[in-house]
Chain A
Amino acid sequence: GENVEQHPSTLSVQEGDSAVIKCTYSDSASNYFPWYKQELGKGPQLIIDIRSNVGEKKDQRIAVTLNKTAKHFSLHITETQPEDSAVYFCAARPNSGYALNFGKGTSLLVTP
């Protein structure tokens, strides 16, 4: 089955700096790659997603890049703010089916 690896497990940045979280996946048939933000005591919230026919997608301070050949995708957060502090999960969905396979999460801390 699909295996999603996520790095780093923890990331600490200064406010205003950029943060990058990387994920790799094993199933070359995967075609959908969402990113979720989970704040303490809450459920994961979809923040951005990308499909396999696109190499990059941007939404304000958040961007995701996908390299299908290398089977990796990354989340980029620019101009980080303390409210960006949360656990971020990447996920991948195989070509068929409804299940998402999640990475193990990255705990991001943005210090003022």
Chain B
Amino acid sequence: DTAVSQTPKYLVTQMGNDKSIKCEQNLGHDTMYWYKQDSKKFLKIMFSYNNKELIINETVPNRFSPKSPDKAHLNLHINSLELGDSAVYFCASSPGSLVRFFGPGTRLTVL
């Protein structure tokens, strides 16, 4: 029983491409997040949705667009991928405002 799942686990793509990462949680949580972990392991919030509404939108290039079709899903679409986008992207969820569960991560490599 995976609480927070992400697909794909690995994503290798060329610069300039558009790609999506999907996230689903089966915990019934109201809040979902996207975090980025860079090569030095630093974790930084990107977005947060509460009941399908965007509540956090950090300083992230507008090439990144989150979409929440329902409370259980928060997908991340990235346009015109750049080398600097290479990182591990983590989805997370929480019943309120305290992050509880992280997904397994998606390692994005832009060539």
Question: Chain A: residues with CB nearer than 8 A to chain B?
Answer: 32, 34, 36, 38, 41-46, 49, 87, 89, 93, 97-102, 104-105
Interface residue from B33, B50, B55, B105 paired with A42 (Cβ < 8 Å)? B105
Check A105/B90 contact, CB under 8 A, given A34-B99, A97-B56.
no
CB distance from A20 to the nearest CB of B (A): 20
A100 to B90 CA separation, bound complex (whole angstroms) = 14
Interface majority SS (helix, strand, loop, mixed), chain B: strand
Interface majority SS (helix, strand, loop, mixed), chain A: strand
Check A102/B43 contact, CB under 8 A, given A34-B98, A43-B104.
yes
Number of B positions contacting A (CB below 8 A): 26
CB distance from A11 to the nearest CB of B (A): 14
Contacts of B94 in A (CB 8 A): 98
At the interface, yes or no: B17 with Cβ under 8 Å from chain A?
Answer: no
CB distance from A100 to the nearest CB of B (A): 5
Q: Are A102 and B42 in contact (CB under 8 A)?
A: yes
- Minimal Cβ-Cβ distance residue in A for B44: A102
Contacts of A89 in B (CB 8 A): 43
At the interface, yes or no: B48 with Cβ under 8 Å from chain A?
Answer: yes
A101 to B48 CA separation, bound complex (whole angstroms) = 13
Check A98/B55 contact, CB under 8 A, given A43-B90, A44-B43, A105-B41.
yes
Check A100/B41 contact, CB under 8 A, given A34-B99, A42-B104, A44-B90.
no
Q: Are B42 and A32 in contact (CB under 8 A)?
A: no
A72 to B40 CA separation, bound complex (whole angstroms) = 23
Contacts of B42 in A (CB 8 A): 102, 104-105
Contact mask B84-111 → A, CB, 8 Å, 1/0?
0000001010100111111111000000
- Minimal Cβ-Cβ distance residue in B for A101: B45
Contacts of B1 in A (CB 8 A): none
A70 to B101 CA separation, bound complex (whole angstroms) = 29
